[in-house]
Amino acid sequence: MSNVFTHVETLGHEQIVYCNDPQSGLRAIIGIHDTNLGPALGGTRLWHYSSEEDALRDVLRLSRGMTYKAACAGLALGGGKAVIIARPEQKSEAMFRAFGRFVNSLQGRYITAEDVNTNVTDMNFVRLETKFVTGVAPALGGSGDPSPVTALGVFAGLKAAVEVRLGRKDLKGLRVAVQGVGNVGKYLCQYLHEEGAKLFVNDINADRVQEMCSKYQATAVSDSELYSLDIDVFAPCALGAILNSKTIPALKAQIIAGGANNQLEDEKVHGKMLQDRKVVYCPDYVINAGGLINVYNELIGYNREKALSEARNIGATVLQILKIADRDGITTHEASQRYAENRIQAVRNLKAMHNVASSAVGRMMHP
């Protein structure tokens, strides 16, 4: 128990909820990191953790990440996340309905969504027990595929980085390599092609590569060529940890702007390595926040045009973050954390002001 408090205090979490329902086999942990900006929103990851300690560590790390992501995206949301300790084949309606009841018991302090190994069907079961869930089927009021919105945010962030690093606003002839042309990568290719960029694509799925080559005159590149290509921008849209001590020294790109999560193998070491090489790295959780912006809009009454327009604002946020990094001589990853913390602090101060107004003295003065 003291161990949990130590973890929680170190990372600054507000609340950790252990959920246990032996009948359905549900064992889950909900992590609420920070609700200064709004209710804590974050997906539910289902994973066969080798220990409870691993599950706790993951939920603490992921929920904290959501606080920063929502703060940078300018949303009225805090950070939260949930993990269910199970194998995918153990999933059942009862398990997700039991989970939905726990989520409901928090009365909106935590709002859930899909994540690794959970999908729309699972969220539809959660929805039977609570309204505090997003990413449900469009028929139940869901917002549908977030990928075009995510890709537009990545595109806007990429353009901002091009403006700062290369001093140009257009993308004509800009050489961009996209790793992973799945849901996000394929839309990113479309946006880039429409503005005249020259595309290089890599994917383990040959059909997807072929589609990009025929639709957007992209050039297919092998795994061994990818990291050392003579390009302006590298857009990782497949895997995490691909920016590491092996790949960074080979990179010729001056900008990294892609949708994949957790691109830096080690945030400190590899963020610094990129800074030293004068490569502008657009922090992944800032640039890929379009998906979160999309589900936020689902909560407040969905309008795709509004979600797309808010995703475009990621460009302005990236400009500000790059400015902070340059001004303070820090990595872009550190700059995005500073940007998020400043916003949370400003709103926290505002809350203190409200508290004074509703204090006993305040009430005596304004009966």
- Candidates 41, 229, 260, 295; binder of ligand NAD (CB under 6 A) is 260
Q: How far apart are CA 346 and CA 324, in angstroms?
A: 17
- Candidates 76, 137, 140, 239; binder of ligand NAD (CB under 6 A) is 239
Q: Binding of ligand NAD at residue 115 (CB under 6 A)?
A: no
DSSP string, 67-87: HHHHHHTT-S-EEEEEEEES-
- Write out the binding residues for ligand NAD, residues 167-226 only, by CB under 6 A: 179-185, 202-205, 208
Report, in Å, the least distance between residue 296 CB and ligand NAD: 13
Closest CB to ligand NAD among residues 177, 237: 237
> Long-range contacts for 136-145 (Cβ within 8 Å, ≥24 apart)?
141/298, 141/302, 142/298, 143/294, 143/295, 143/297, 143/298, 143/302, 143/304, 143/307, 145/183
DSSP designation for 197:
P
Closest CA to 96 of 138, 133, 137, 54: 133
Q: Binding of ligand NAD at residue 38 (CB under 6 A)?
A: no
Q: Which window, 23-31, 79-87, 235-243, 328-336, contacts ligand NAD (CB under 6 A)?
A: 235-243
Closest CB to ligand NAD among residues 228, 359: 228
φ/ψ of 105, rounded to 5, equals -65, -20
Q: Binding of ligand NAD at residue 317 (CB under 6 A)?
A: no
Q: Binding of ligand NAD at residue 114 (CB under 6 A)?
A: no
Closest CB to ligand NAD among residues 150, 317: 150
Active-site positions read 81
Q: How far apart are CA 174 and CA 11, in angstroms?
A: 41
| Residues linked to residue 255 through DSSP beta bridges, in sequence order | 233, 280
Report, in Å, the least distance between residue 250 CB and ligand NAD: 16
Q: Binding of ligand NAD at residue 128 (CB under 6 A)?
A: no
Q: Which window, 71-79, 168-176, 232-240, 304-312, contacts ligand NAD (CB under 6 A)?
A: 232-240
Half-sphere exposure of 111 toward its Cβ, with a 13 Å CA cutoff? 25
Residue type at 236?
P
CA 177 to chain centre: 21
Q: Binding of ligand NAD at residue 35 (CB under 6 A)?
A: no
Tokens representing 78 are 């805090």
Q: Binding of ligand NAD at residue 144 (CB under 6 A)?
A: no
Applying CB under 6 A, the residues found at the interface with ligand NAD are 146-147, 150, 179-185, 202-205, 208, 237-239, 259-261, 288, 291
